[in-house]
Amino acid sequence: MPAKRTSAQDESHIREAALVLRAGGIVAFPTETVYGLGADAFNAVAVAKVFEAKRRPSFDPLIVHVADPKDTVRLWREVPPAAQKLMDAFWPGPLTLVLPKKDELPGIVTADLDTVAVRMPRNDAALALIRALGSPIAAPSANVFGYTSATSADAVMEDLGDKIDIVLDGGPAAIGVESTVLKIEQGRAVLLRPGGTPVEEIKKYISVDVPAASAAVESPGQTPSHYAPWTPFVASELDYPDIQKQLERLHKLFAEKEKPWPRIGILLFGERKESPLFANMECLSAKKNLNEAAAHLFGAIRKLDKMNLDLIVAENVPEKGLGLAIRDRLSKAAAGKRAVDSFFDNLLQ
Ligand code: TXA
Ligand code: MG
């Protein structure tokens, strides 16, 4: 049976969703970052259903969502001063903190790690749902594991509509990329995943270690390929004019060899530029605003992925503010796929 889709604005629907959770069911709900697929964090059987529905490997731990910073006493052994400072500054909001867990929390939530990731979302429906359940909600992003995250109820229905009970529709997610994940250890913070809270903001409160992209990250879910569309995908380090030059050269080569030009979609950071080189274009932010670009990112990738393209190329995005998170998602979406040159070499053979 397809999931029942209800309005997250309606209190009676929140209560209904909370009853499903209390009975051990799973519910998709809006947050300010992306949609989450939730279960009662203290019900191990319900949490197992989340892993199964999104085909998530059991080694990848979930984030637990609370409606009040005080609720972390049920989850963390203690709250060190560094964590308290960050919670005061950024909660509710897209910042997840990883700290040693209490034994009472089922091991399935944390993939048997000794720590648990917790955040308080900045979304009224999410907070109301947690309060109505009276228990923290364990929730990963509401997408099929490895695929592009869902920033709308439509996207959740596409991925999981036949596997879950209820989708609470709260409209488009305001931020559009997942929370920043920080591990707090001996008063220092290590960035495990760039996200909706810019690292520059966090550094105003605490020094943050940002591991090099190539360094092994301690976050089991940060597998190299993630957020990926089915269509071959390239995250270019070039801005649009240089991508255009690169493709014009290739286009000439195709014409000379009388090879058909592939259907290419481009994910533009800046404004739309008509060009016969591209079958489709999606623009993240005409004014090159990184917050707007983040909000449109996953929806635009999903849209291009439906257009029967041979290749999607994403324009370069600056590495500041939410740009760090966007670049992370683009490079993971491209991981394990071929680079532009080898893609075209193959077609030219
Ligand atoms: O914005 C978000 O964070 C969204 C919404 C729904 O809250 N959730 C989300 O969950 O992105 P998910 O499961 O897609 O990503 C959770 C990330 C993974 O990279 C996971 O490895 C990491 O958090 N994580 C969770 N618990 C951890 C732990 N104990 N230690 C290290 N990393 C952890
Ligand atoms: Mg995810």
Q: For the segment 68-88, what is each residue's pLDDT rounded down to a tens digit? A: 999 999 999 999 999 999 999
- Atom number of ligand 1 nearest to Cα 222: 19
User: Can you tell me the distance from the alpha carbon of 211 to that of 191, in angstroms, rounded to the nearest whole number?
Assistant: 7
Confidence of residue 132 (pLDDT cuts 50, 70, 90): very high
Distance 302 CA to ligand 2 centre (A): 15
pLDDT over 70 at 338, yes or no: no
Whether the predicted pLDDT of 214 surpasses 80: no
3-class secondary structure, 260: coil
**Rounded mean pLDDT, 139-155:** 96
Write out the H or E segment, with its range, that includes residue 209: strand 208-209
Q: Which of 101, 178, 197, 222 to mutate to test the pocket of ligand 1 (most atoms within 8 A of CB)?
A: 178
Distances (CA, A) of 223 to 9, 152, 220, 255: 35, 24, 7, 39
pLDDT exceeds 70 at position 215: no
- Three-state secondary structure readout of 282-343: EECCCCCCHHHHHHHHHHHHHHHHCCCCCEEEECCCCCCCCHHHHHHHHHHHHCCCCCHHHH
Q: Whose CA is nearest to atom 30 of ligand 1?
A: 219
Average pLDDT over residues 304-324: 96
Span 48-62, mean pLDDT?
95
**pLDDT of res. 272:** 86
Task: Point out the least confidently predicted range of 32-41, 221-230, 241-250.
Answer: 221-230
pLDDT greater than 90 at residue 226: no
From the CB of 193, is ligand 1 less than 6 Å away? yes
Residue 207 tokens, joined: 């020094």
* Closest by Cα among 182, 180, 66, 53 to 115: 182
The DSSP result for 40-99, as a single string, is: ETT-HHHHHHHHHHTT--TTSPPEEE-SSGGGGGGTBS---HHHHHHHHHH-SSSEEEEE
- Residues above pLDDT 90, as percent of the chain: 88
Q: Please work out whether the CB of residue 110 comes within 6 Å of at least one atom of ligand 1.
A: yes
Residue 57 has pLDDT above 70, yes or no: yes
Average pLDDT, the chain: 94
* Whole-structure pTM value: 0.95
Q: Ligand 1: does its nearest atom lie under 6 Å from the Cβ of 221?
A: yes
pLDDT (mean) for 205-234: 80
Q: Is the pLDDT of residue 239 over 70?
A: yes
**Backbone Cα Rg of the chain:** 21
Mean pLDDT of 102-114: 97
Write down the pLDDT at residue 26.
97
Nearest protein Cα to ligand 1, atom 24: 61
Over residues 143-165, mean pLDDT: 95
pLDDT of residue 346: 76
The residue type at 221: G
How far is it, in rounded angstroms, from Cα 73 to Cα 44? 19
Q: Could you tell me the pLDDT band of residue 212, with boundaries at 50, 70 and 90?
A: confident
**Which amino acid residue places its CA nearest to atom 31 of ligand 1?**
219
Separation of 344 CA from ligand 1 center, angstroms?
Answer: 36
- At residue 34, the pLDDT reads 98
Which pLDDT score is estimated for 345? 78
